[in-house]
Structure formats: C-alpha cells, structure tokens
C-alpha cells in the first residue's frame, strides 16, 4: 500500500486555472502582479501590507493570533498603522537602509510587525530562533556586526550586550523599557503614516544563518526580488485564495517561518494564523478548529507526532474547513501520507527547498498525482537534475547529487562576507547549483530524497551543523575530543548523538553526560544538545589530516558497534 499513488482531488486550484502541465512559464509573467511593475518603487513590506490597503482590502484580517493567554487580530489597515509606528521609532533611533536589524521574539504578531517595520525602512532583517541561547545569539549578530536588536525582556538574559559591541540600540516590546527603548510605548505616540523607503529588487531583505558541514553557521542574504517566487509559490503550491485562513507552524527564525509564515501569505493577501507555544496534539488541533484553518504548512515531525496519538483524538476536532496540507524540511514518510489520507481525507503535499534557495523549488502541486516517498517535481520555471560526482547528468532511478539550474528569482544574493562559500554551491562550474542532497529522479521526473552528501544533521526539520556542537563540546573541561552525528530516529528523523573522548580524571558516568548536555543546551539551543552521548576511548580519524571521520561514526552507529 505504501507504493500506491494518490491522484489529485478535483478542485479550483490556482495553478490549474493559470497554467497547464507542460506549458511554458516565464518568471517575468509574474511581474505585473506587483505595484513596482507600474511604479518602479520596490519594497517587500509595501507589497505585503500597504498595497492591500491601497486596493481597498484594509478591513480584511491580516493576522489572527492565538495562544493560551491571548487571542487577537489585526486587519491589514491596523497592521499597516502598527508597522508604520514601529518603523518611525526605529528610524528615530537611527535605523536606515542597509542596516542589520535583528528580531529575537516569540511567535507573536510583534515578530511580524518588527520584521516588516525594519524592512519598510530598507533595513536587512535577521530573525533569530526563539530558543537560541546566548552564544547562538552572539555569534550571529557579531558575524555581521548587527547594530539593532528588537527583543523582549524575557529574552534579554540571553543577550550579553558586552559581548556584542556592534549593537547600538536594543528595543524591547514590553511597555517597561528600563535600560532599553520600549518600542511599543514609543510607538503609541507616533504618527501611523510613513513614507516607505524604496529599494532595488537586488537590495538586501533578510539574513538567516544556516549550518554548513564545516565552520560556524553562514549568513545567507536574500534580496527583495524574492517576492516574485514567494508570491508565486504561495499561489500555486500553497494554493492561497483570498478567502483562505492559512497557518504555517514554523518560527520566523527558520527560513520557512519567514518566507511562508510572513511573506508569502501577506503577499497573497490572506489571513495568517499565528500560534504561540510549542507542539501539543490538542493545542494544534485546537488551532486548526478554532481559527478555521484552510491551508496548513507544517513538518513531518509534527505529522508523525499526530499520527502517534490515540485514534479518538483525531475525531474530537472539527477539521472540516481544512482543505490543503503541506510539509517541508525533512523526508515525509509514505506511511504518514497514507495515514493522513485515511484520517483527514486529505493529501499531504511535500515541498523541497533550502535557506539558500529562498523559496520552494520542488513540490507536489495540488493538480498532480502524489507518489508517496517523493518530494514531488520541479515547479514551473525550475529545472532540476541528478548529477554524478563529475557533474554529468545521471539517468532516471540513479542516485546522485540533486542539482538545480541557476538562477531563479529567490536565489540567495550572497553568503555574507564569504564569496568563496557562494562558489562552493557550484562545484562543477556552470549553472548547476548543488544542494548537498542526494536523490534520484524517476522516469516521470519525480524526485526521491536519499540523504545528505555531507555530515549535516536534520532533526525535526532543523538543519544542524555538527561542527558548531563539537566546538561547543570542546569548551567543556571534561571533553578532550568529540564527533557529532545524526542518528536515525522514528519521530524526529534524526537525533543529535555525540561521541566523546574524556580528559583524564573524568569518569564515564550518566551525571557527566547530563551535565554536558545542559552545557550545550544553555550555550547554543535545546535542539543542538546531544540527546545521546557515548563516551569512547578514541575517535576514528583521517590518517593525513587527523580530521574526525563522522562517516565512520555513522557506520558504527548503523552496525550497532557501540
Ligand atoms: O536536506 C534537505 C532538507 O533540509 C535541507 C534544507 O534545510 P534548511 O535550509 O534548514 O531549510 C529547510 C526548509 C526549507 C535540505 O538540503 N529538506 C528540505 N525539505 C525536504 C528536505 N529533506 C527531505 N524532504 C524534504 N521535503
């Protein structure tokens, strides 16, 4: 049964109406949907908010926030006024075009408002994941010498100001500013109108730090031109219609939460649901029911966790409004697709992309048959191939490097201060962008993910570089050396496992493992802390350079050597 394909439902899909399978498509055809096509004036924030108000949709709900403590909404007109007021405060305190403004806030409308306010001034916004601890915060802001930070008092103990000398101003969203600027309090006094700072399509929009297999996380900078593909995929892949109530479960600190939690839905003028707090089956089903969600974008780990709930729970909620479900970030198991199809009578549409690509590239469009186990096919305007180690195209069903022909509208603008790194995505020269993923393509062009070609770990859809964790582990006095890998896990896809050689005088006891785990957790982030730790005598290493052989550790793991 897991091989059974699932045909499309009959429906009034945007992509079905606007494009026929196999028909030519040019990204330029999309340009006329943006105001800059006529006015020549560009700004993502304007396209997300102001244009809808100018077009008479100011009374429509833009944001619907739900949490255990609070529930509120913003119309597009209210959002516009709030963004303008916040932007005015930022402007008065020095923020201008090209500056880096970091936003370190929970999933909450204030996070959307802060991001849009910075963007409206032409600043480059850097959303930070809400669970980042002090070192993760410090490393990212220091790397690009960020000058401004918008956060909340409850996060301030993770911002060690002395360690981030470039920071000129810290804004807090609490009314009591204390030593900081209360952006909410100052905004109350501001004029709700603001002249947008116009930029070029090529100007910087946002920065996300993402793990590579070596070195510290790299700053990936995207440009305002991203809106072309983000709007279009919102329309054709997420199938957003004006009447939709849309929920993306990711935090904007991850690229999905920024692109498909903030930009794509607002560009399409729909209602965006924001839910505070972490996953719980009851809470999430409750949000789907209470907000009347129609389109839902989440991740395999969440679907797997829902699948593991008692049968009756799925019947306790009214999900009758839900009509389109999508997934991203990690392999989506065929069993989960079949389970969802039986339980909710809905297909889960897998999508594939990366921080660097800025928007979806491969997806199961609502009008196409789903082959469970496949991430789908390249979307219109995108060409993909599977290449061998020499950069030659492989025939169907042969596993190799997943490659996309550059360029596309939302391709990264640059790797911050690291042009050499940008070139490493094109190892064969020419225009084949390599994702670092291994995959094969079948005779119908469906792409099947087979794993990473490097040591990157994917735990619950979160991309984690082993190097950052190994470096942190080395700071612990007991740790002499370490090697970190992803260990396969039924629910999370992979978990972080650390192999550690201890310094003399330390005993291999569970208390020490616990202590090391919390050391990483409090320094970096909970998702980076090794769920499993194995103390060993010696690490496998390359003979010449003495580098830790993570591949060998993975082999040990799969063979159950340890
Ligand atoms: O390995 C692929 C995996 O996530 C990586 C990109 O991670 P990140 O930049 O954090 O972006 C995640 C969300 C856009 C990819 O190189 N990945 C992403 N989508 C899928 C996936 N693996 C399997 N199936 C997917 N649908």
For 292-328, write each residue's pLDDT tens digit: 999 999 999 999 999 999 999 999 999 999 999 999 9
Unique residue bearing structure tokens 């501001």: 190
Please give the structure tokens belonging to residue 18.
């606007």
State the pLDDT at residue 66: 96
List, for residues 483-501, the tens digit of each pLDDT value.
Answer: 999 999 999 999 999 999 9
**Residue to substitute in 253, 354, 436 for testing ligand 1 pocket (most ligand atoms within 8 angstroms of CB):** 354
**Pairwise CA distance, residues 127 & 101, whole Å:** 8
**Residue to substitute in 337, 437, 460 for testing ligand 1 pocket (most ligand atoms within 8 angstroms of CB):** 437
Residues 59, 80 contacting (CB under 8 angstroms): no
State the pLDDT at residue 213: 66
CATH number of 42-223: 3.40.50.12780
Unique residue bearing structure tokens 């979806």: 360
State the pLDDT at residue 487: 95
CA of 330 to the centre of ligand 1 (A): 5
The ipTM estimated for the assembled molecules is: 1.00
Is the distance from the beta carbon of residue 367 to the nearest atom of ligand 1 less than 6 Å?
no
Q: Report which secondary-structure segment, H or E, holds 495.
A: strand 493-502
Residue 461: what are its φ and ψ, rounded to 5°? 80, 0
CA of 503 to the centre of ligand 1 (A): 36
CA of 251 to the centre of ligand 1 (A): 15
Please give the structure tokens belonging to residue 489.
């896990």
State the pLDDT at residue 558: 86
**Pairwise CA distance, residues 561 & 373, whole Å:** 30
Is the distance from the beta carbon of residue 458 to the nearest atom of ligand 1 less than 6 Å?
yes
Is the distance from the beta carbon of residue 49 to the nearest atom of ligand 1 less than 6 Å?
no
Is the distance from the beta carbon of residue 230 to the nearest atom of ligand 1 less than 6 Å?
no
Is the distance from the beta carbon of residue 210 to the nearest atom of ligand 1 less than 6 Å?
yes
Q: CB under 8 Å to 426, separation ≥6 — which residues?
A: 406, 432, 433, 434
Q: CB under 8 Å to 164, separation ≥6 — which residues?
A: 137, 138, 141, 142, 146
Residues in the chain: 562
Is the distance from the beta carbon of residue 337 to the nearest atom of ligand 1 less than 6 Å?
no
**Is 544 buried (19+), middle (13-18) or exposed (0-12) by CB count in 10 A?**
exposed
Map residue 519 onto helix, strand or coil: helix
State the pLDDT at residue 278: 84
Residue whose CA is at the smallest distance from ligand 1 atom 8: 354
State the pLDDT at residue 108: 97
**Pairwise CA distance, residues 374 & 532, whole Å:** 30
- Which of ligand 1's atoms lies nearest the C-alpha of 208? 9
Please give the structure tokens belonging to residue 268.
């399409």
Is the distance from the beta carbon of residue 527 to the nearest atom of ligand 1 less than 6 Å?
no
**Pairwise CA distance, residues 357 & 33, whole Å:** 22
**Pairwise CA distance, residues 292 & 272, whole Å:** 11
Q: CB under 8 Å to 448, separation ≥6 — which residues?
A: 373, 374, 375, 439, 440, 441, 442
**Pairwise CA distance, residues 361 & 226, whole Å:** 13
Q: Is the dihedral of CA 35, 41, 43, 46 positive or negative?
A: negative
Residue whose CA is at the smallest distance from ligand 1 atom 18: 329
State the pLDDT at residue 1: 56
CATH topology of domain 457-559: GMP Synthetase; Chain A, domain 3 (3.30.300)
CA of 460 to the centre of ligand 1 (A): 10
**Pairwise CA distance, residues 84 & 193, whole Å:** 6
Q: What 8-state DSSP symbol labels residue 109?
A: H
In 67-199, where do the E strands start and end? 71-75, 100-104, 124-127, 148-151, 169-172, 181-182
Is the distance from the beta carbon of residue 250 to the nearest atom of ligand 1 less than 6 Å?
no
In 142-284, where do the E strands start and end? 148-151, 169-172, 181-182, 204-210, 218-223, 245-248, 271-275
CA of 351 to the centre of ligand 1 (A): 9
**Pairwise CA distance, residues 208 & 355, whole Å:** 7
Map residue 128 onto helix, strand or coil: coil
**Residue to substitute in 129, 211, 255, 352 for testing ligand 1 pocket (most ligand atoms within 8 angstroms of CB):** 352
Q: What is the pLDDT along the chain (562 residues), one digit of tens a residue?
A: 567 999 999 999 999 999 999 999 999 999 999 999 999 999 999 999 999 999 999 999 999 999 988 999 999 999 999 999 999 999 999 999 999 999 999 999 999 999 999 999 999 999 999 999 999 999 999 999 999 999 999 999 999 999 999 999 999 999 888 899 999 999 999 999 999 999 999 999 999 999 876 778 999 999 999 999 999 999 999 999 999 999 999 999 999 999 999 999 999 999 999 999 889 999 999 999 999 999 999 999 999 999 999 999 999 999 999 999 999 999 999 999 999 999 999 999 999 999 999 999 999 999 999 999 999 999 999 999 999 999 999 999 999 999 999 999 999 999 999 999 999 999 999 999 999 999 999 999 999 999 999 999 999 888 898 988 998 999 999 999 999 999 999 999 999 999 999 999 999 999 999 999 999 999 999 999 999 999 999 999 887 777 888 989 999 988 887 6
Q: Following DSSP, what letter does each residue of 526-552 receive, concatenated?
A: GGGS-SEEEE-S---B-TTT--B-HHH
Is the distance from the beta carbon of residue 329 to the nearest atom of ligand 1 less than 6 Å?
yes
Please give the structure tokens belonging to residue 472.
């942190």
Instruction: Please report, for residues 3, 48, 306, 312, the alpha-carbon distance to residue 291 in angstroms, rounded to integers and kept in the order given.
Output: 34, 21, 19, 21
Q: CB under 8 Å to 266, separation ≥6 — which residues?
A: 48, 49, 62, 272
Residues of the chain with CATH 3.30.300.30: 457-559
State the pLDDT at residue 561: 73
Residues of the chain with CATH 3.40.50.12780: 42-223
pTM: 0.95
**Residue to substitute in 300, 330, 402 for testing ligand 1 pocket (most ligand atoms within 8 angstroms of CB):** 330
Unique residue bearing structure tokens 């995505």: 425
């Amino acid at each position: 049964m897991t091989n059974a394909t699932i045909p499309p439902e009959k429906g009034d899909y945007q992509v079905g109406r606007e494009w026929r399978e196999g028909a030519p498509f040019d990204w330029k055809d999309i340009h006329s949907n943006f105001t800059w096509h006529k006015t020549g004036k560009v700004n993502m924030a304007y396209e997300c908010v102001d244009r809808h108000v100018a077009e008479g949709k100011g009374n429509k709900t833009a944001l619907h926030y739900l949490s255990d403590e609070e529930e509120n909404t913003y119309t597009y007109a209210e959002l516009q006024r709030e963004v303008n007021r916040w932007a005015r405060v930022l402007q008065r305190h020095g923020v201008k075009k090209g500056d880096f403004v970091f936003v370190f806030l929970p999933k909450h409308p204030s996070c959307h408002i802060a991001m849009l306010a910075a963007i409206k001034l032409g600043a480059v916004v850097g959303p930070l994941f809400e669970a980042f601890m002090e070192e993760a915060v410090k490393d990212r802001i220091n790397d690009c010498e960020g000058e401004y930070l918008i956060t909340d008092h409850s996060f301030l103990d993770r911002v060690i100001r002395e360690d981030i000398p470039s920071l000129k101003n810290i804004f807090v969203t609490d009314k009591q500013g204390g030593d900081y600027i209360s952006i909410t309090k100052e905004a109350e006094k501001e004029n709700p109108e603001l002249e947008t700072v116009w930029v070029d399509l090529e100007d910087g929009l946002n920065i996300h730090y993402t793990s590579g297999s070596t070195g510290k996380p790299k700053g990936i900078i995207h440009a305002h031109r991203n809106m072309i593909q983000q709007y279009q995929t919102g329309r054709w892949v997420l199938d957003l219609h004006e009447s939709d109530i849309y929920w993306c479960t990711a935090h904007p600190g991850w690229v999905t939460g920024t692109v498909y939690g903030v930009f794509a839905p607002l560009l399409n003028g729909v209602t965006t649901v924001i839910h505070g707090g972490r996953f719980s089956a009851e809470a999430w089903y409750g949000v789907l029911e209470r907000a009347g969600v129609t389109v839902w974008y989440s991740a395999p780990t969440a679907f797997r966790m829902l699948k593991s709930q008692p049968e009756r729970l799925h019947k306790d909620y009214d999900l009758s409004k839900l009509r389109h479900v999508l997934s991203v970030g990690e392999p989506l198991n065929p069993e989960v697709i079949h389970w969802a199809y039986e339980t909710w009578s809905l297909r889960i549409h897998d999508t594939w992309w990366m921080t660097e690509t800025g928007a979806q590239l491969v997806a199961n469009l609502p009008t196409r048959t789903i082959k469970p186990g496949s991430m789908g096919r390249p979307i219109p305007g995108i060409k993909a191939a599977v290449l061998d180690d020499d950069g030659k195209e492989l025939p169907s069903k042969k596993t190799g490097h997943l490659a996309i022909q550059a360029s596309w509208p939302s391709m990264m603008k640059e790797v911050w201060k690291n042009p050499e790194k940008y070139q490493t995505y094109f190892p064969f020269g020419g225009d084949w962008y390599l994702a670092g993923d291994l995959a094969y393509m079948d005779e119908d062009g469906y792409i099947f993910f087979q794993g990473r070609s490097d040591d990157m770990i994917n735990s619950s859809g979160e991309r984690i570089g082993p190097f950052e964790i190994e470096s942190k582990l080395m700071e612990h006095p007991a740790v002499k050396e370490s090697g970190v890998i992803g260990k396969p896990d039924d629910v999370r896809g992979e978990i972080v496992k650390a192999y550690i050689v201890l310094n003399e005088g330390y005993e291999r006891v569970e208390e020490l493992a616990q202590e090391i785990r919390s050391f990483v957790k409090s320094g970096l982030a909970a998702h980076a802390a090794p769920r499993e730790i194995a103390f060993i005598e010696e690490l496998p290493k390359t003979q010449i350079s003495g580098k830790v052989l993570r591949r060998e550790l993975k082999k040990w793991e799969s063979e159950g050597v340890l």
